[in-house]
Chains A and B, each alone.
Chain A
Amino acid sequence: MKKLMLATAAAALAAGGAMADVKVGMITTLSGGGASLGIDTRDGFMLAMEDANRDDVEVVIEDDQRKPDIAVQLADKMIQSEKVDVLTGIVWSNLAMAVVPAATAQGLFYLSTNAAPAQLAGKGCNSNYFSVSYQNDNLHEGAGAYATQAGFKNTFILAPNYPAGIDSLTGFKRFYEGELAGEVYTKLGQTDYAAEIAQIRASGADSVFFFLPGGMGISFLKQYADSGVDLPVVGPAFSFDQGILQAVGEAAVGVKNSSTWSKDLDNEANAAFVAAFQQKYDRLPSIYAAQGYDTANLLLSAIDKADVNDDAAFAAALKEADFASVRGEFSFAANNHPIQNVYVREVIKEGDVFTNKIVGTALEDHANAYVDACKM
């Protein structure tokens, strides 16, 4: 109700030529486990904001501690007290599911810097919700496509036993054409994979696909490297991120991973971004930073075109995706999720630092599997 009144008032102002200020609420994980992802998201986002140096956009940042109830509470605070127009920043799918549907139902815009669960891409899609990162399945689909391209015939696949894990294996299988040597769900938060590695060894597989985000992936890669099993490994970018790679070390070198972004992607925006990020924060950017950066730039581009209080116009402006993405060509599919390339990267050592370099393209101009399910 109030939102409606504001909109009318703002429309009146806009008619007078003045643009209303835009207030952005960022909810992300800055403390506790997983804080590194949120910190990168924030830093990437703020880098773009500071580069733009505009005084008509205000950003409020809060820490969700990776707890869904805290995220919801912060969203309430931002909507009720701060009266933000746009929400963004959530890293984790379960937190996004807690916040996004309620926020868009209240007429806010939500721009996802990372989490993009299937529910929000298909039946639960919303004209006010944009995923600037990907659809969650994309990287797994890319890995599956790569496995097919690489000629793997008998892959062993594993992921934690939770919704994102199950989605991951489904996504992989969607583009993988070979046989499965085994399909295993591990315990969420598991740290020892000796048992699974023994299974891989015994299974007669010719390759391995795994999705184990965060510390789980570090543990798996270190143990795998030490096990003497010498099969090629593929995974989504999450386990090969700049922050994580240093903790995995040599064990990761040579592993292929699918990603929508890499720091060596050859385009002007990316080169500028990587240089600026390194200069400002004295570390290499991660995919989360890149996605945060893109999200901010997309938002700024839309603010220039339309009034945030005019839902339809602002949504249309966002959908144009008229900004220079660090991922190169970038547009939105009908369900407001990106159409972009999924690349294959390989982990290399550059001097003292472990990092990725692009070695191929798994999927070109790839959208997602849920476009048809979305009735907007």
Chain B
Amino acid sequence: MSRETLFNAALLLGLIAVPAWAVMMDEPFTITLATRAVILALAAAGLNIALGIGGLVSLGHAVFFGIGGYAMGILAHHAQSYTPLMEWPFLIEGTKFMPVIWLLAVVVSAVAAFLIGLMSLRTTGAYFIMITLAFGQMFYYFAISWSTYGGEDGMSIYIRNDFPGLNTLVPIQFYGLCLAILVVVLIFTARLRRSPFGLALNAARQVPARVEAVGMDPMRLKLVAFVISGVITGLAGALFADLNRFVSPTMFSWQFSGEIMILVILGGVGRLFGPVAGAVTFVALEHFLGGITEFWHIFLGLILLAVVLFARGGITGLVAGKEATHD
């Protein structure tokens, strides 16, 4: 077993042990924090597919996070106010049923990722970073002025949505649900990396010319990766909205896109558990540094700088040594 595998196992164990301890000690807030970390890890795991495997530096992933959030917000808002979402040409009612919300989040994120990807992938390098950022801003300003759904104020959902067989209001149950989704996505990612598609995408990042020369279209590979990536981040957005029982345009903001990227880089770009390590660290820093000083952003900034300058490969790289993505 490589050090990275051990590290990953330890992380996963921690994600089970810490909340379990919190339940025993009756520290529900620790569970809330852990839930936040798990959901952020999920959002970052989405970006990690585009960024880590496909090399797509998207500074607009908050778009999908926000779409997921608004999918939840809009459906639940209509459900709690008993007003139909639309009446024509056919009646659509709101819902508080998580699987339906997730479905909507996933479908809309996929469509958005497809369209944004189609346009953005024409560009490369710095242009790609900037055009994804611009799409993020477009959605942000749109959400701010979308008065039907609260504009800048966003929307509050009074009671967390339902999942069959669970009482999602109990923190540990909702946590379990989120963790399960994260684990499923990580398993999917692990398979994806070894799959023909993953191999091709990984090569498309390194040598697009080679991929073309063997009869594959790197652009299409990247577009599909971008869509998969957007879908996962979108799903995370729906869960995040449910955690907070609230959505607002800040979910679309470029700072948030930056934060998702930070999670990925902090944990280790392209590492399977990088997003998890990044999110856990980030939430912990936010919690503990924030408790110590009002100016904790300075220290967060310094830590990030240190990671970029001295700890290539992020935390995973630091703990597990250089690249160990292969057997």
Contacts and interface: CB of A to CB of B under 8 A. Distances in A.
Contacts, number: 89
B158 interface: yes
Nearest to B248: A68
A69 B250 contact: yes
B248 A162 contact: no
A140 to B, nearest CB: 16
B205 interface: no
Given A80-B28, A105-B158, A94 B147 contact: no
A77 B29 contact: yes
Contact of A77 (B32, B244, B250): B32
Contacts of B88: none
Interface string A97-136: 1100110010000000000010000000000000000000
Given A80-B171, A94-B248, A69 B240 contact: yes
Interface residues of B, number: 34
A163 B147 contact: yes
A265 to B, nearest CB: 31
B184 to A, nearest CB: 24
Contacts of B33: 73
A162 B145 contact: yes
Contact of A98 (B36, B246, B294, B296): B246
A347 B159 CA distance: 46
Contact of A163 (B27, B141, B152, B296): B152
B152 A94 contact: yes
Nearest to A100: B156
A376 interface: no
A81 B31 CA distance: 10
Contact of B141 (A63, A77, A187): A187
Interface string B197-220: 000000000000000000000000
Interface in A48-74: 63, 67-69, 72-73
A102 B244 CA distance: 10
Nearest to A77: B29
Nearest to A93: B153
Chain A contact surface mostly: helix
Contact of A73 (B27, B36, B145, B294): B36
A256 to B, nearest CB: 27
A187 B137 CA distance: 13
A97 B27 contact: no
Interface in B205-245: 240, 243-245
B153 A102 contact: no
Interface residues of A, number: 29
Q: Please classify the interface of chain B as helix (H, G, I), strand (E, B), loop, or mixed, using the class held by over half of its residues.
A: helix
Contacts of B85: none
Contacts of A35: 294
Given A68-B248, A72-B245, A164 B36 contact: no
Given A162-B144, A162-B153, A163-B147, A76 B158 contact: no
B29 to A, nearest CB: 4
Nearest to A31: B294
B28 A68 contact: no
Contacts of A97: 150, 153-156, 246
Contacts of A31: 294-297
Nearest to B246: A98
A119 B87 CA distance: 25
Given A76-B32, A80-B28, A162-B144, A98 B151 contact: no
B297 to A, nearest CB: 7
Interface string A187-202: 1100000000000000
Given A72-B246, A76-B32, A81-B28, A101 B150 contact: no
Contacts of A342: none
A309 B141 CA distance: 43
A166 interface: yes
Q: Counting chain B CB atoms within 10 Å of each CB, which of A35, A72, A94 scores highest?
A: A94
Can you list the 8 inter-chain pairs with the closest CB atoms, starting with the nearest? Answer: A162-B152, A81-B29, A80-B28, A98-B246, A72-B244, A94-B153, A77-B29, A80-B29
Given A81-B27, A81-B28, 11 more contacts: A63-B290, A68-B154, A73-B32, A73-B244, A80-B171, A94-B153, A94-B248, A98-B248, A101-B158, A102-B246, A162-B152
10 contacts: A68-B248, A77-B29, A81-B27, A81-B28, A94-B152, A97-B153, A97-B156, A98-B246, A162-B145, A188-B152
Interface of B: 27-30, 32-33, 36, 141, 144-145, 147, 150-156, 158-159, 171, 240, 243-246, 248, 250-251, 290, 294-297
